[in-house]
Structure 1
Amino acid sequence: MSPILKVENLRVSFHQDGTVTEVVRSVSFALSRGETVALVGESGSGKSVSALSVVSLLGDSARVSGSVTYAGQQMIGASPKLLRKVRGNDISFIFQEPMTSLNPLHTIERQLSESLALHQGLQGEAARARIIELLERVGIRDAAARLGAYPHQLSGGQRQRVMIAMALANKPDILIADEPTTALDVTIQAQILELLAELKEQEGLGLLFITHDLGIVRRIADRVCVMKDGEIVEAGPAAEIFAAPEHPYTRKLLAAEPAGLPAEPEARATEIVRTEGLRVWFPIQRGFLKRTTGHVKAVNHANIAVREGETLGLVGESGSGKTTLALAIMRLIASEGQLTFDGQDMRGWSTRTLRRFRSEMQIVFQDPFGSLSPRMTCEQIIAEGLGIHRVDPSRNRRELVAEMMGETGLDPAMMHRYPHEFSGGQRQRIAIARAMVLRPRLLVLDEPTSALDRTVQVQIVELLRGLQRKYGLAYLFISHDLRVVRAMSHKVAVMRAGDIVEYGPAAEVFDNPATDYTRKLIKAAV
Structure 2
Amino acid sequence: MSLLEVSNLRVSFRQDGQLHQAVKGVSFSVDKGETVALVGESGSGKSVSALSAVSLLPGTAEIEGSVTYKKQELIGAEPKLLRGVRGNDISFIFQEPMTSLNPLHTLERQIRESLELHQGLTGAAARERILELLERVGIRDAESRLTAYPHQLSGGQRQRVMIAMALANKPDILIADEPTTALDVTIQAQILDLLADLKREEGLGLLFITHDLGIVQRIADRVCVMQNGEIVETGPTQAIFDNPQHPYTQKLLNARAAGVPDPVSDGAETLVETDNMRIWFPIQRGFLKRTVGHVKAVNKASISVRAGETLGIVGESGSGKTSLALAIMRLIESEGGMRFDGQDVTAWSTRELRRRRADMQIVFQDPFGSLSPRMTCAQIIAEGLSVHGNPDGRPERELVAEIMKEVELDPAAMDRYPHEFSGGQRQRIAIARAMILRPKVVVLDEPTSALDMTVQVQIVNLLRRLQQKYGLAYLFISHDLNVVRAMSHKVVVMKTGDIIEYGTAEEIFERPQTDYAKTLLHAALDLTA
Q: 1:393 deviation in Å?
A: 5.3
Secondary structure of the 1:5 match is strand
Alpha-carbon distance in structure 2 between the residues aligned to 1:106 and 1:65: 37
**Number of the residue aligned with 1:89:** 88
Whichever residue aligns with residue 126 of structure 1, its letter is A
Separation in 2, partners of 1:411, 1:405: 7
Equivalent-residue separation in structure 1 for 2:375 and 2:79 (angstroms)? 41
SS in 1 for 2:82: helix
- Cα shift at 1:396: 1.0
Per-residue CA deviations over 1:378-435 (Å, capped at 9, x if unaligned) read 0000001001001315211111110000000000010000000000000000000000
- In the alignment, structure 1 residue 245 sits paired with structure 2 residue 232: no
What amino acid is aligned across from residue 365 of structure 2 in structure 1?
Answer: Q
Post-superposition Cα deviations, 1:273-326, rounded to whole Å, max 9, x if no partner, equal 000100001111222222212111100000100000000000000000000000
Tell me which residue corresponds to 1:261: 260
What is the letter of the counterpart of residue 308 of structure 2?
A: G
Q: Which residue of 1 aligns with 2:16?
A: 17
Deviation at 1:493, TM superposition (A): 0.1
Q: What amino acid does structure 1 have at the position aligned with 2:141?
A: D
In structure 2, the residue matched to 1:476 is: 475
- The reply on whether 1:181 has 2:149 as its aligned counterpart is no
Residue by residue, what CA displacement relative to the aligned partner does 1:145-197 show, whole Å, maximum 9, x if unpaired?
10111110111000000000000000000000000000000000000000000
Q: Which deviates more, 57-66 or 164-173?
A: 57-66
Structure 2 CA distance, aligned partners of 1:510 and 1:326? 22
Q: Indicate the residue corresponding to 1:117 in structure 2.
A: 116
- Give, as a single letter, the amino acid of the residue that structure 2 aligns with 1:186: V
Match of 2:395 in 1: 396
Residue identity in the other structure for 1:44? G
Unaligned runs of 5+ in 1: none
* 1:300 alignment counterpart: 299
Q: Distance in 2 between matches of 1:221 and 1:61?
A: 32
Match of 1:366 in 2: 365
2:263 counterpart SS class: coil
Q: What is the rounded CA distance, in whole Å, between the counterparts of 2:346 and 2:144 in structure 1?
A: 42
Q: Distance in 1 between matches of 2:393 and 2:251?
A: 45
Partner of 2:334: 335
TM-score normalized by the length of structure 1: 0.99
Cα distance in 2 for residues equivalent to 1:55 and 1:354: 54
CA distance in 2, matches of 1:291, 1:522: 42
Q: Aligned-pair RMSD on alpha carbons? A: 0.6
For 1:418, the equivalent position in structure 2 comes to 417
Report the secondary structure of 1:118's partner residue: helix
Aligned-pair distance for 1:371?
0.1
Matched residues, number: 525
Partner residue in 2 for 1:201: 200
Partners of 2:31 and 2:361 in 1: CA distance: 50
Aligned-partner SS, 1:184: coil
Match of 1:270 in 2: 269
Moved more, 16-25 or 239-248: 16-25
Report deviation, 1:356. 1.0
Matched AA of 1:142: D
Q: In terms of mean alpha carbon deviation, does 200-209 or 8-17 score higher?
A: 8-17
Q: The residue matched to 1:295 in structure 2 has which SS? A: strand
The amino acid of 1:256's aligned partner reads A
Mean Cα deviation higher: 13-22 or 237-246: 13-22
Separation in structure 1 between the aligned mates of residue 329 and residue 354 of structure 2, nearest angstrom: 11
Counterpart in the other structure of 2:280: 281
**In 2, Cα distance between equivalents of 1:75 and 1:205:** 19
Does 300-309 or 281-290 show the bigger shift?
281-290
Structure 1 residue 80: Cα displacement: 0.8
Distance in 1 (CA, whole Å) between partners of 2:14 and 2:477 is 41
Deviation at 1:12, TM superposition (A): 0.6
The 10-residue stretch of structure 1 (394-403 or 479-488) with the greater mean CA deviation from structure 2: 394-403
The answer to whether 1:156 aligns with 2:158 is no
What do the CA deviations read for 1:458-512 (whole angstroms, capped 9, x no partner)?
0000000000000000000000000000000000000000000000000110001
What do the CA deviations read for 1:227-262 (whole angstroms, capped 9, x no partner)?
Answer: 000000000000100000000000000000001110
Q: For 1:54, give the aligned amino acid.
A: A
Q: Structure 1: which amino acid aligns with 2:438?
A: R
Aligned-pair distance for 1:16? Answer: 2.6
Which one-letter code corresponds to 1:118 in the other structure?
A: L
Alpha-carbon distance in structure 1 between the residues aligned to 2:16 and 2:499:
55
Q: Decide which moves more: 195-204 or 12-21.
A: 12-21
AA partner of residue 154 (structure 1): L
Q: Give TM-score scaled by structure 2 length.
A: 0.99
Match of 1:451?
Answer: 450
Matched residues in 2 for 1:128 and 1:397: separation? Answer: 61
Secondary structure at the residue paired with 1:4?
A: strand
Q: 1:65, 1:417 → 2: CA distance? A: 32
Measure the CA separation in 2 of the matches of 1:65 and 1:520: 47
Looking at structure 1, the residues matched to 286 and 66 of structure 2 have their Cα atoms a distance apart, in angstroms, of 61
Q: Percent identity?
A: 75
For 1:375, give the aligned amino acid: R
Letter in 1 for 2:14: H
1:406 aligns with 2:405: yes
* Residue identity matched to 2:117: L
**After superposition, where does 1:12-91 map in structure 2 within 5 Å?**
12-91=11-90
Query: Aligned partner of 1:42: which letter?
Result: E
SS at match of 2:372: coil
For the residue of structure 2 that corresponds to 1:362, the secondary structure is: strand
Question: How far, CA to CA, are the matches of 1:447 and 1:282 in structure 2?
Answer: 23
Mapped partners of 1:134, 1:43: distance in 2? 32
Q: Partner residue of 1:212?
A: 211
Q: Helix, strand or coil for the counterpart of 1:464?
A: helix
Q: Which residue of 1 aligns with 2:102?
A: 103
Q: Distance in 1 between matches of 2:346 and 2:320?
A: 20
- 1 CA distance for matches of 2:281 and 2:209? 39
Partner of 2:380: 381
**Shift of residue 61 of structure 1?**
1.0
Separation (CA, whole Å) in 2 of partners of 1:153 and 1:457:
31
- Tell me how far 1:15 sits from its aligned partner: 1.5
Give the secondary structure class of the aligned counterpart of 2:68.
strand
Between the aligned partners of 1:170 and 1:356, the Cα distance in structure 2 is 58
3-state SS of paired residue (2:281) = strand
| Cross-structure match for 1:172 | 171
**What amino acid sits opposite 1:183 in the alignment?**
A
1:39-74 CA-to-partner distances (Å, cap 9, x unmatched) read 000000000000001011111111111111101100
Alpha-carbon distance in 1 for matches of 2:515, 2:428: 36
Partner of 2:314: 315
Give 3-state SS (helix, strand or coil) of 1:353's partner: helix
* Corresponding residue for residue 223 of structure 2: 224
What CA distance in whole angstroms lies between the structure 1 residues aligned with 2:447 and 2:128?
41
- 1:353 and 1:6 mapped to 2: Cα distance? 64
SS at 2:2 equivalent: coil
Q: What is the match of residue 349 of structure 2? A: 350
Distance 1:294 1:76 in 2: 57
SS at match of 1:78: coil
Q: Which runs of 4+ in 1 moved over 4 A?
A: none
